C-alpha cells in the first residue's frame, strides 16, 4: 500500500512537471533570432542578439504580447553559409512566427529559398542593395541601403557646405562603384560636375598621387568612398599634404579603430552614417544606450540600435495581428513605425529605413568625438 | 581480386541502413539538412583523400575546385538551357582540368612548398569569382539556382535530394575503389612511400600524379555542383581557405587513404559541430580540442583506431 502511494505520488509529480512544461512552452510567442555568435562576425552579431533580447525582455516585463510572453529562439549563423542554413532549419523546427535575420547578405541569400518556401517573415538590418531586389516578399530590410547614406552626404556637401567644386575619391570595390554612381547622379541633377575623380585599391597604402591630383584641381570639398584602412590613409595623408578643405568621408570613418589610425587628422572631418547611439543627444537614445551598456557591459553600435527597433516593430506587428505569418507580412507592408533611431515604412521592394545622419568629428582630450550636424529622413510619404 | 564474402555482407547492411535512414528523419528538415550537407562534404573529402591518402600531399586549396564546380554548374543551369546533369558533368570536367593544371607543379615540388601552391590556387579562384562581376556577380554571388531535375522529376525536397547525393557518394566510392585496385592506384601508393624507388621501378610520376589530381578535381567539382544546386545561392565567402582546412581535418580525422575514412570523418565532424552548438562561443574551443585529441591519440584517424582494435581483438 505504501509502495502504491509512493508510485502514484511520483507519477503525479512527473505528470505535473510535464503539464507545466507543456503549458509554459505552448503559451509563448516564438520568434527566431539568427545572427553570428561565433567567428569574427560575432562582433556585430552578438550586439544584435543583445538588442533583440533587450526588446523581448521589455515586452515580457509588461506582460508580453497580448498577455502572452515572447520566447526568442536564438541560433548562431557563424561566418558560414552552411551554418546559417542549418540555423534557419533549427529555428523553423521550433515553429516560430517570424525571424530576425543575420546582417550578412551571403547568408541571407542562401536562406531566401527556404524563407520563401516556408512563407515566413524575415527582417534584418543589412545594407546590401541587392537583397531587396530579389522578388522576395517575405524579406524586410530595416537598415538604410547605400543609396540613402550617399544621398545624405551629397546633399549635405552641396546644400549645407555650399560646395560648387567637389572632388571624388572612390575605392574600386562594388561599394565604391555603386557609391560613385549614386553621388555623381545626384550632383548631375543639381547641375554640378566633380572637378576631379580618383580611384584606389582597397589595399593601397599610399594615396599621395590621388590627393595631389585632387589638390591641383582646386576643389572645395573631398567626398570619399572607402573601407576602414584606406579611409584612414586618405584622411591622414590629406592632412600631411596640407590640403585644407572639408572632407566628407563614408561610414567607415565613424569606427573607433579608424580614429586611432587617423589621430589628430580626424578634426573637422564630416562622416555620413546611420546613427551613433553612443553620442546621440536624443534623450531616448541616451537612455537606451545606458540601459544596453548596464545590461551587456558593451557599447551598442548603429546595427544594434536598428535591430532593437526592428524587434519592436515585429512585436507590434504580432500584437496587431497575432502570430500569423501571412498577416504579419501584410501588416508590415502597410504600417508605419516610429522607432528610436527613426521612422520605418516599407516601400515596394521592402526597404524600410530611409534615414541617415551627418556628423562632424572634433578632437577632445585626444579622442575623436562626433557632433551631430544634420539628420536626414527620406521615408516615403 | 574478388571481394571477400564478409565485406560484401557488411556493404549490403550499410547500404540498407543508409537507404532506410532518411525515412526516420523525413519530417525533420534539420536532420535531413545535416544528412545532405554531410553527403556533399563526403564527396569533397573523397577528393582530398585521393591527394593526401594516395600521394601523401597536403592541399589547402580544395575550396578552389569546389568553387569551380559550384559556379560552372550554377552558371550553366541558370544561363543556358542545359539540364543539371550535363551541367554537373561539364563543371566536374572543368574542375578536373584545373586539377590537372595543379598537378604539374606537384611533379617537381613537394612538402611545404606544394601546400603554399595549393593555398595560392584556392585564393586565386576565390579572387576571380569575387572580381569577375560580369560572370560571377561578385560579392552578391549567384542566387535562385534551380534544383536538379531529371525529366519531369525535380529534386526539390530534402528527402529526394538525399538519394541524389547518395548516388554520387556511391559513384565516388566506386571510382576510388577501382583506382585503388588499378595499376595507377598502386603506382600512387608507391610514389607516396618512396618516389625515387617507385620511379626506378618504372612508375611514371607525371602521369600518375596528373591522373590523381584530375580525379580529385573531378570529385571536388561534383561536390561543388551538388552544393550549388542544393543551397540555391553561392557567393565567394563560402569558398574561403577555412573550407579547405575543414575538409583536410575531415580527411585526417576519418583516416586518410582508406575507403570509409572520408564518410566517417565527415559525418563525425558534421554531427559533432551540430551537437556542440549549445556551447555557442565556447564550442570552437572544444571542437578544436577534440580535433587535437583525435590527431594525438589517433594519428591514422578513426579508421586507423578501428583497425588497431580489430587486430588486437584478433590476436
pLDDT at A19: 52
CA distance A129 to chain B (A): 9
CA A339/CA A305 separation, integer angstroms: 9
**Mean pLDDT, range A129-138, rounded to an integer:** 88
Element (DSSP H or E) covering residue B75: helix B62-79
Contact A380, A348 (CB under 8 A): no
pTM over 0.90: no
Q: What is the dihedral of CA B252, B256, B260, B262, to 10 degrees?
A: 50
Which of A76, A104, A109 has the CB atom closest to B280's CB atom?
A: A76
Handedness of CA B271, B273, B277, B282 (dihedral sign): positive
pLDDT at A11: 60
ipTM above threshold 0.90: no
Task: Return the DSSP state at A31.
Answer: E
A304 has a pLDDT exceeding 80: yes
Q: Is B242 on the interface with A (CB under 8 A)?
A: yes
A41 has a pLDDT exceeding 90: no
The percentage of chain A sitting over the pLDDT mark of 70, rounded to a whole number, equals: 93
Domains defined for chain A, CATH in brackets: 22-144+283-350 (3.40.50.2300), 147-273+357-377 (3.40.50.2300)
Which chain A residues have any C-beta within 8 angstroms of a chain B C-beta? 37-39, 42, 75-76, 79-82, 85-86, 89-90, 92-93, 104-106, 109-110, 112-113, 128, 130, 134, 174
Q: Is B271 on the interface with A (CB under 8 A)?
A: no
Task: Please report residues of B whose CB lies closer than 8 A to that of A174.
Answer: 133, 138-140
CB pairs under 8 A between A and B: 75
Confidence of residue A5 (pLDDT cuts 50, 70, 90): low
Q: Which domain holds residue B182?
A: 28-244
pLDDT at A303: 86
Q: Is B27 on the interface with A (CB under 8 A)?
A: no
A106 and B235 in contact by Cβ < 8 A? yes
Task: Please report residues of A whose CB lies closer than 8 A to that of B139.
Answer: 105-106, 174
Which of A199-203, A374-378, B19-23 is predicted with the least confidence, judged by mean pLDDT? A199-203
Cβ contacts of A258 within 8 Å, gap of 6 or more = A228, A231, A232, A235, A252
Q: When comparing pLDDT for A320 and B287, which is higher? A: A320
Q: What are phi and psi of B78, to 5 degrees?
A: -90, -40
Contact A350, A115 (CB under 8 A): no
Query: Is residue B206 a part of any domain in this protein?
Result: yes
Q: If DSSP codes are grouped into helix, strand and coil, which group holds residue B310?
A: helix
Would you state the cell numbers that stand for residue B178, as one nine-digit string? Answer: 577501382
**SS3 string of B216-249?**
HHHHHHHHHHHHHHHHCEECHHHHCHHHHHHHHH
pLDDT at B53: 93
Handedness of CA A126, A127, A128, A131 (dihedral sign): positive
pLDDT at A12: 63
Confidence of residue A3 (pLDDT cuts 50, 70, 90): low
pLDDT at B153: 87
pLDDT at A260: 87
Handedness of CA B73, B79, B84, B89 (dihedral sign): negative
Q: What are phi and psi of B228, to 5 degrees?
A: -60, -45
Structurally, how many domains does chain B consist of? 1
A340 has a pLDDT exceeding 80: yes
B237 and A89 in contact by Cβ < 8 A? no
CA B86/CA B94 separation, integer angstroms: 12
Q: What are phi and psi of A184, to 5 degrees?
A: -65, -35
Handedness of CA B49, B54, B55, B56 (dihedral sign): positive
Q: What is the pLDDT of residues A80-117, one digit of tens each?
A: 888 999 999 999 999 999 999 998 888 999 999 999 99
- Whose cell is 535530394? That residue is B161
Query: Is residue B232 a part of any domain in this protein?
Result: yes
Q: Is B131 on the interface with A (CB under 8 A)?
A: no
Report B:190-209 residues touching A (Cβ under 8 A).
none
CA A305/CA A274 separation, integer angstroms: 10
Q: Is B30 on the interface with A (CB under 8 A)?
A: yes
Angle (CA) A141-A143-A147 rounded to 5° is: 100
Which of A4-8, A184-188, B27-31, B112-116 is predicted with the least confidence, judged by mean pLDDT? A4-8
Beta bridge partners of residue A248, listed in sequence order: A223, A270
Which of A81, A90, A104 has the CB atom closest to B231's CB atom?
A: A81
**Mean pLDDT, range A288-317, rounded to an integer:** 93
Query: Is residue B291 a part of any domain in this protein?
Result: no
Q: What is the pLDDT of residues B267-288, one digit of tens each?
A: 999 998 888 887 777 777 888 8
A23 has a pLDDT exceeding 50: no
CA distance A82 to chain B (A): 8
Task: Return the DSSP state at A44.
Answer: H
A86 and B30 in contact by Cβ < 8 A? yes
Handedness of CA A51, A280, A128, B123 (dihedral sign): negative
DSSP string spanning A61-124?
A: HTTSBTTBEEEEEEEE-TT-HHHHHHHHHHHHHTT-SEEE--S-HHHHHHHHHHHHHHT--EEE
Query: Is residue B262 a part of any domain in this protein?
Result: no
Which of B236, B242, B283 has the CB atom closest to A38's CB atom?
A: B283
Cβ contacts of A210 within 8 Å, gap of 6 or more = A169, A198, A199, A200, A234
**Mean pLDDT, range A192-206, rounded to an integer:** 90
Query: Is residue B2 a part of any domain in this protein?
Result: no
Task: Please report residues of B whose CB lies closer than 8 A to that of A37.
Answer: 280-281
Best of A79, A96, A110 to disrupt the B interface (most B CBs within 10 Å) is: A110
Would you state the cell numbers that stand for residue A43, as one nine-digit string? Answer: 562582433
CA B42/CA A378 separation, integer angstroms: 50
Query: Is residue B284 a part of any domain in this protein?
Result: no
Would you state the cell numbers that stand for residue B289, as one nine-digit string? Answer: 580540442
Mean pLDDT, chain A, rounded, equals 89
Element (DSSP H or E) covering residue B104: helix B84-108
Could you say which residues of chain B have pLDDT below 70? 1-3
Query: Is residue B300 a part of any domain in this protein?
Result: no
Contact B262, B49 (CB under 8 A): yes
A128 and B140 in contact by Cβ < 8 A? yes
Query: Is residue B313 a part of any domain in this protein?
Result: no
Q: Is B233 on the interface with A (CB under 8 A)?
A: yes
CA A72/CA A36 separation, integer angstroms: 15
CA distance A145 to chain B (A): 14
Amino acid at each position: 500500500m505504501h509502495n502504491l502511494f509512493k508510485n502514484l505520488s511520483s507519477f503525479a509529480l512527473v505528470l505535473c512537471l510535464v503539464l507545466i512544461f507543456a503549458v509554459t512552452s505552448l503559451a509563448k510567442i516564438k520568434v527566431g533570432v539568427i545572427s553570428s555568435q561565433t567567428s569574427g562576425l560575432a562582433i556585430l552579431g552578438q550586439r544584435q542578439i543583445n538588442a533583440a533580447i533587450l526588446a523581448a525582455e521589455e515586452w515580457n516585463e509588461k506582460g508580453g504580447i497580448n498577455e502572452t510572453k515572447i520566447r526568442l529562439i536564438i541560433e548562431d549563423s557563424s561566418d558560414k553559409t552552411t551554418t546559417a542554413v542549418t540555423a534557419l532549419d533549427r529555428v523553423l523546427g521550433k515553429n516560430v512566427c517570424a525571424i530576425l535575420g543575420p546582417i550578412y547578405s551571403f547568408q541571407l541569400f542562401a536562406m531566401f529559398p527556404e524563407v520563401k518556401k516556408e512563407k515566413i517573415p524575415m527582417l534584418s538590418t543589412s545594407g546590401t542593395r541587392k537583397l531587396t531586389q530579389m522578388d522576395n516578399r517575405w524579406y524586410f530590410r530595416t537598415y538604410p541601403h547605400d543609396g540613402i547614406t550617399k544621398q545624405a552626404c551629397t546633399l549635405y556637401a552641396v546644400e549645407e557646405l555650399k560646395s560648387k567644386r567637389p572632388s571624388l575619391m572612390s575605392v574600386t570595390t562594388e561599394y565604391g562603384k555603386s557609391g560613385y554612381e549614386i553621388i555623381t547622379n545626384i550632383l548631375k541633377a543639381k547641375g554640378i560636375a566633380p572637378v576631379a575623380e580618383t580611384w584606389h585599391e582597397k589595399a593601397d597604402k599610399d594615396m599621395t598621387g590621388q590627393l595631389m591630383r585632387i589638390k591641383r584641381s582646386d576643389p572645395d570639398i573631398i567626398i570619399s568612398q572607402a573601407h576602414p584602412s584606406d579611409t584612414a590613409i586618405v584622411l591622414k595623408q590629406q592632412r600631411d599634404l596640407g590640403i585644407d578643405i572639408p572632407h566628407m568621408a563614408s561610414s567607415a570613418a565613424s569606427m573607433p579603430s579608424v580614429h586611432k589610425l587617423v589621430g589628430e587628422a580626424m578634426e573637422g572631418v564630416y562622416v555620413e552614417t546611420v546613427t551613433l547611439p553612443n553620442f546621440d543627444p536624443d534623450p531616448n537614445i541616451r537612455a537606451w544606450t545606458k540601459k544596453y551598456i548596464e545590461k551587456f557591459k558593451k557599447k551598442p553600435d548603429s546595427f544594434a540600435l536598428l535591430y532593437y527597433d526592428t524587434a519592436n516593430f515585429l512585436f507590434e506587428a504580432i500584437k496587431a495581428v497575432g502570430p500569423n505569418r501571412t498577416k504579419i507580412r501584410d501588416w508590415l507592408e502597410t504600417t508605419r513605425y516610429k522607432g528610436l533611431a527613426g521612422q520605418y515604412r516599407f516601400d515596394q521592394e521592402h526597404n524600410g529605413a530611409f534615414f541617415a545622419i551627418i556628423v562632424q568629428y572634433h578632437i577632445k582630450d585626444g579622442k575623436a568625438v562626433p557632433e551631430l550636424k544634420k539628420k536626414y529622413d527620406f521615408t516615403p510619404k | 581480386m574478388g571481394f571477400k564474402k564478409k565485406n560484401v555482407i557488411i556493404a549490403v547492411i550499410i547500404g540498407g541502413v543508409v537507404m532506410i535512414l532518411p525515412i526516420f528523419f523525413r519530417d525533420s528538415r534539420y536532420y535531413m539538412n545535416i544528412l545532405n550537407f554531410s553527403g556533399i562534404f563526403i564527396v569533397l573529402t573523397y577528393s582530398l583523400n585521393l591527394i593526401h591518402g594516395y600521394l601523401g600531399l597536403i592541399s589547402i586549396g580544395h575550396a578552389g575546385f569546389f568553387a569551380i564546380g559550384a559556379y560552372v554548374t550554377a552558371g550553366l543551369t541558370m544561363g543556358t538551357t542545359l539540364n543539371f546533369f550535363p551541367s554537373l558533368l561539364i563543371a566536374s570536367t572543368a574542375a578536373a582540368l584545373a586539377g590537372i593544371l595543379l598537378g604539374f607543379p606537384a611533379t617537381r615540388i613537394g612538402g611545404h612548398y606544394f601546400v603554399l601552391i595549393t593555398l595560392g590556387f584556392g585564393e586565386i579562384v576565390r579572387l576571380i569569382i569575387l572580381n569577375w562581376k560580369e560572370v560571377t556577380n561578385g560579392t552578391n554571388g549567384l542566387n535562385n539556382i534551380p534544383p536538379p531535375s531529371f525529366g519531369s522529376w525535380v529534386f526539390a525536397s530534402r528527402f529526394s535530394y538525399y538519394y541524389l547525393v547518395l548516388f554520387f557518394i556511391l559513384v565516388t566510392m566506386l571510382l576510388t575503389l577501382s583506382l585503388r585496385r588499378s595499376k595507377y592506384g598502386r603506382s600512387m601508393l608507391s610514389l607516396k612511400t618512396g618516389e625515387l624507388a617507385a620511379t626506378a621501378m618504372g612508375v611514371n610520376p607525371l602521369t600518375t600524379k596528373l591522373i590523381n589530381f584530375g580525379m580529385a578535381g573531378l570529385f571536388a567539382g561534383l561536390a561543388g555542383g551538388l552544393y550549388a544546386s542544393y543551397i540555391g545561392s553561392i557567393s565567394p565567402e563560402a569558398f574561403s581557405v577555412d573550407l579547405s582546412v575543414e575538409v583536410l581535418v575531415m580527411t585526417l580525422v576519418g583516416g586518410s587513404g582508406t575507403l570509409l575514412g572520408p564518410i566517417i570523418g565527415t559525418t563525425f565532424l558534421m554531427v559533432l559541430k551540430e551537437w556542440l552548438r549549445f556551447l555557442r562561443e565556447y564550442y570552437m574551443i572544444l571542437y578544436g580540442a577534440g580535433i587535437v585529441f583525435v590527431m594525438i591519440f589517433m594519428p591514422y584517424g578513426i579508421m586507423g583506431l578501428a583497425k588497431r582494435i580489430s587486430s588486437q581483438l584478433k590476436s
